[in-house]
Amino acid sequence: MRTAVATFGYGRLDYFSRMLSSLGTCPEVLDGSVDVIHYLDGGEQSQQHELKELIESSETPFSEIVLRPHNFGVGLQLIGARREVLDEQGYDRLIMVEDDIELNPTYLTTLLGLSDWAEQFSDAGTVQVWNVEAGTADALRPHMNEVELTNRHFVSYCLTKRVWDAIKPTLYEYERKFLVKHAYNQRPHYRIRRFMRQVLRQPAKGHEGSKIDPPADAVSNPFPSIPWRSAPTSQDAITSLALYKAGLHRLTTRVPHAFYFGEVGVHCTPEVYEQMGFNGQGHWQWTTEEIPTTFTLRYHDADGNWLTSFYR
């Protein structure tokens, strides 16, 4: 598959630098088997020029730097990147990498392998190899090939054109109704939540052919309810909702190959970071020899209970 990696920058030079350096340790970036496209948002506090200089002076190869002419905001920026890469430039697969995640050198190899494996299933959605799983290297190593259903934050993930085509009508409607005429931090939350309730009332789509087809007890609605005052209204939340209603399952390796360090951001504070369990991220620094070559689905925890996950 022709694959692009999209990164996203707005200020936070120290964050972006840490992510960029880690991206440069991935062999697929170094050998040019993936195209790296950097999307830099604009606006007064964007530090767009400084980020551009950082990219150009780094040793991490890249194909293109996209400079937004003004402040798009997170929603328009991320939806726009998917449109440009998958709809307009004809890539088969896109890997989204935000500026607050540090990648292990095994990250892209494992992610692309998982994506290739998942494409045999018509009901497979996005895939990721970042997860919040506690444990030491010795505790996690036996579980390297285990894959779980997830509704966690995206942070960094991979989606194919097949998946994008299934969910983009919902994302484009969200964009048109709520983002084009509103700054992202002033989006109309109550109207978005009404829209989310309408989407949830639609029947989920079915799929033919070879499927993951997990047991019903293993599938969790990312939004079991839509509280008027607290349900998330981000583009990530709508992406998760769109996948669920398209009958597509989000997959993640149980064992992480990246470390999320974004304590401060649009949706995070140090308190939220701790509340979400990010302080408990387990060992993630693996060697090439430890990259899994096959994958198996896991639906139960060690006590035999069904694994559950909602969007958070």
pLDDT tens digits, 193-241: 999 999 999 999 999 999 999 999 999 999 999 999 999 999 999 999 9
For residue 264, what pLDDT is reported?
A: 77
The 3-class secondary structure across 12-62, one letter per residue, is: CHHHHHHHHHHHCCCHHHHCCCCEEEEEECCCCCCCHHHHHHHHHHCCCCC
- Is it the case that residue 266 has pLDDT exceeding 80? no
Please, are residues 6 and 88 in contact by the beta-carbon 8 Å criterion? no
For residue 71, what pLDDT is reported?
A: 95
For residue 265, what pLDDT is reported?
A: 73
Percentage above 70 pLDDT, the chain: 99
- Is it the case that residue 189 has pLDDT exceeding 80? yes
For residue 272, what pLDDT is reported?
A: 83
How many Cβ atoms are within 10 Å of 161's Cβ, its own excluded?
Answer: 19
Query: Quick check: is 97 in a domain?
Result: yes
Q: What is the mean pLDDT of residues 166-193?
A: 96
Number of domains, the chain:
1
Q: What is the mean pLDDT of residues 111-140?
A: 97
For residue 310, what pLDDT is reported?
A: 85
Provide the mean pLDDT of the chain: 95
Query: Quick check: is 307 in a domain?
Result: no
| Torsional sign, CA 160, 163, 169, 174 | negative
- Is it the case that residue 179 has pLDDT exceeding 80? yes
- pTM of the predicted model, to two decimals? 0.95
Query: Quick check: is 59 in a domain?
Result: yes
CATH number of the domain to which 23 belongs: 3.90.550.10
For residue 275, what pLDDT is reported?
A: 83
Percentage above 90 pLDDT, the chain: 90
Query: Quick check: is 78 in a domain?
Result: yes
Q: What is the mean pLDDT of residues 113-127?
A: 98
Q: What is the mean pLDDT of residues 108-134?
A: 97
Query: Quick check: is 171 in a domain?
Result: yes
For residue 311, what pLDDT is reported?
A: 87
Q: What confidence category does residue 177 fall into, taking pLDDT thresholds of 50, 70 and 90?
A: very high
For residue 38, what pLDDT is reported?
A: 98
- Is it the case that residue 263 has pLDDT exceeding 90? no
Domain that holds residue 19: 3-297
Give every CB contact of residue 285 below 8 A, 6+ residues apart in sequence. Answer: 104, 137
Lay out the sheet containing 124-128: strands in order across. 64-67, 35-40, 3-9, 93-97, 156-160, 124-128, 249-253, 146-149, 296-297
Give every CB contact of residue 97 below 8 A, 6+ residues apart in sequence. Answer: 5, 6, 7, 8, 19, 23, 103, 156
For residue 243, what pLDDT is reported?
A: 97
Query: Quick check: is 115 in a domain?
Result: yes
For residue 167, what pLDDT is reported?
A: 98
Q: What confidence category does residue 81 fall into, taking pLDDT thresholds of 50, 70 and 90?
A: very high
Q: What phi and psi, each to the nearest 5 degrees, are found at residue 301?
A: -85, -175
For residue 268, what pLDDT is reported?
A: 79
Q: What is the mean pLDDT of residues 112-118?
A: 98
- Residues 2-26: pLDDT tens digits? 999 999 999 999 999 999 999 999 9
